[in-house]
Amino acid sequence: MTDIKLNHLAIVVDDMVAALRFWRESLGLAQTGEIESVPAEAVDIAFLSLGDAHIELIQPTSSDSGVAKYLAKRGPGLHHLCLEVPDLEAKLNELRARGYELINETPRERDGRRYAFIHPKSAGGVLLELYESI
């Protein structure tokens, strides 16, 4: 048994209204909270409940953010995977020691959580976020 849990799975969308019509109204997932604007990252986000985890819908609100460029290049769809780990710093040190490439060499902090992204080329093409609640 491992102590790693799914925190959220992020989906980049080009139309939040249409996305909520599908995932919430048609499929039946429960939305947690309202659509939030995150101006610092130039995105609108919404969360759908998936047991203890969430699906995060992300819509870019400018054309020059990383998410906007991803959307322009690859189209809407699965964007990143966020796993919760008990000790983020220890996990990052272990991955670094094994030669994997981190996007965030030290954890970032926001809203009572610490997180860091692992580079997709080190995680088999997956943009992986590791997360620790603090």
Residue 6: which of 67, 59, 50 has the closest Cα?
50
* Residue with Cβ nearer its own copies (6 or 42): 6
* Residue with Cβ nearer its own copies (8 or 39): 8
Q: Least Å distance between CB 50 and its own copies?
A: 5
Q: Least Å distance between CB 30 and its own copies?
A: 5
Q: Provide the binding-site residues for its own copies, judged by CB under 8 A.
A: 1-2, 4-6, 9, 11-15, 18-19, 22-23, 26-30, 49-53, 74-81, 83, 85, 91, 94-95, 98, 100, 120, 122-127
Query: Phi, psi at residue 20, to the nearest 5°?
Result: -70, -35
Run of H or E residues at 60: strand 53-60
CA geometry: angle 132, 66, 115, nearest 5 deg: 5
